[in-house]
């Protein structure tokens, strides 16, 4: 149980384009989903928290107009990196939790490379 | 301000021996702690957790110990196996706060 999927697993795009990453909870309803990014050899940095049907809460320093998050259903959240630039290249990981559980279950991650 | 710290970036252990990974925290409001294992280019996998009302939780080869007075937790893996080689992250949360705060990770290498 508690499986989270992400799509795509890897994406390469040109600078200035937008990229959408999907995160799905496959066997549970995720009241809350989280988006992280990880730079090489560093820890996971929380970008934003999204609750189903409401606006995402962004961490300090994360541009909400650049990283658009939509949590339209209890099993799907999307992260759109708008007008991507090379410095946005990173490993993006989502996680989800069921109800009010404290444990988060992570997706496999998406490697974004912006040329 | 690093609220969760893993001071050892790497650890090397012989197969079959015990691996001990350590984690310290500074926020006394944290009341739930988790350990995740992560392979390169993959998302973290949940291993084990512990609530602040306990001081030990065991699941198979994995045991987590919590010392609230020292604000310290540790993960014991015994016996260590080659497949345990990965980066291990500890994380902490505060009830009602939703989000997890992660340590920097410790790379564990199990040598045959």
pLDDT digits (tens, 9 = 90+) for B36-86: 999 988 899 999 999 999 999 999 999 999 999 999 999 999 999 999 999
Q: Above 70 in pLDDT, residue A1? A: no
Residues 71-110 of B with CB under 8 A from A: 89, 93, 95, 98-100, 102-105
pLDDT digits (tens, 9 = 90+) for B82-102: 999 999 999 999 876 778 899
Of A16-30, A90-104, B21-35, B36-50, minimum mean pLDDT range: A90-104
Instruction: Name the residue facing A49 among B34, B44, B98 (closest C-beta).
Output: B98
Q: Please state, as a whole number, how many other Cβ atoms lie within 10 Å of the Cβ of residue B80.
A: 22
**Mean pLDDT for all residues in chain A:** 92
Task: Give contacts of A35 with chain B, Cβ < 8 Å.
Answer: none
Q: Above 90 in pLDDT, residue A23? A: yes
Task: Give contacts of A47 with chain B, Cβ < 8 Å.
Answer: none
Partner B contacted by A11 (CB < 8 A) = no
Cβ(A39)–Cβ(A30) below 8 Å = no
Q: Write the CB contacts of A48 (distance below 8 Å, at least 6 apart in sequence).
A: A34, A35, A56, A57, A58, A59, A62, A64, A67, A69
Distance from the B87 Cα atom to the nearest Cα atom in chain A, whole angstroms: 10
Cα angle B83, B86, B89 (rounded to 5 degrees) comes to 135
**CA distances for A25 relative to A84, A114, B32, B39, angstroms:** 26, 27, 23, 20
- Report the pLDDT averaged over residues A43-69: 91
Residues 76-105 of A with CB under 8 A from B: 91, 93-95, 97, 102-105
* Overall residue count recorded for chain B in this entry: 112
Q: What is the pLDDT of residue A54?
A: 83
Q: Measured between alpha carbons, how far is B69 from A46 in angstroms, rounded to an integer?
A: 28
- Binning pLDDT at 50, 70 and 90, where does residue A40 land? confident
**CA distances for B54 relative to A13, B58, B95, angstroms:** 48, 11, 15
Partner B contacted by A26 (CB < 8 A) = no
Residue A11, burial from CB neighbour count under 10 angstroms (0-12, 13-18, 19+):
middle
Q: Above 80 in pLDDT, residue A57? A: yes
A101 or B29, which is more confident? B29
List the single residue in A with minimal CA-CA distance to B96.
A100
Cβ(A11)–Cβ(A19) below 8 Å = yes
Cβ(B89)–Cβ(B38) below 8 Å = yes
List the single residue in B with minimal CA-CA distance to A92.
B43
């Amino acid at each position: 149980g508690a499986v989270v999927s992400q799509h795509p697993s890897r994406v390469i795009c040109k600078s200035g384009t937008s990229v959408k990453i999907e995160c799905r909870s496959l066997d549970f309803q995720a009241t809350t989903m989280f988006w992280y990014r990880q730079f090489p050899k560093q820890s996971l940095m929380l970008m934003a928290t999204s609750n189903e049907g409401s606006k995402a809460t962004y961490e300090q320093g994360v541009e909400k107009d650049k990283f658009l998050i939509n949590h339209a259903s209890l099993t799907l959240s999307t992260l759109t990196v708008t007008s991507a630039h090379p410095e946005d290249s990173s490993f993006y990981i989502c996680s989800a939790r069921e109800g009010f559980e404290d444990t988060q279950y992570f997706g496999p991650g998406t490697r974004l490379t912006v040329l | 301000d690093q609220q969760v710290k893993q001071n050892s970036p790497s650890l090397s252990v012989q197969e079959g021996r015990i691996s001990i990974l350590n984690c310290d925290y500074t926020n006394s409001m944290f009341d739930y702690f988790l350990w995740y294992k992560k392979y390169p280019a993959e998302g973290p996998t949940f291993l084990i957790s512990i609530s602040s009302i306990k001081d030990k939780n065991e699941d198979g080869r994995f045991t987590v110990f919590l010392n609230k007075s020292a604000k310290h937790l540790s993960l014991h893996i015994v016996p260590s196996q080659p497949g345990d080689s990965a980066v291990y992250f500890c994380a902490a949360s505060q009830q009602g706060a939703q989000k997890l705060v992660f340590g920097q990770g410790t790379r564990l290498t199990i040598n045959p």
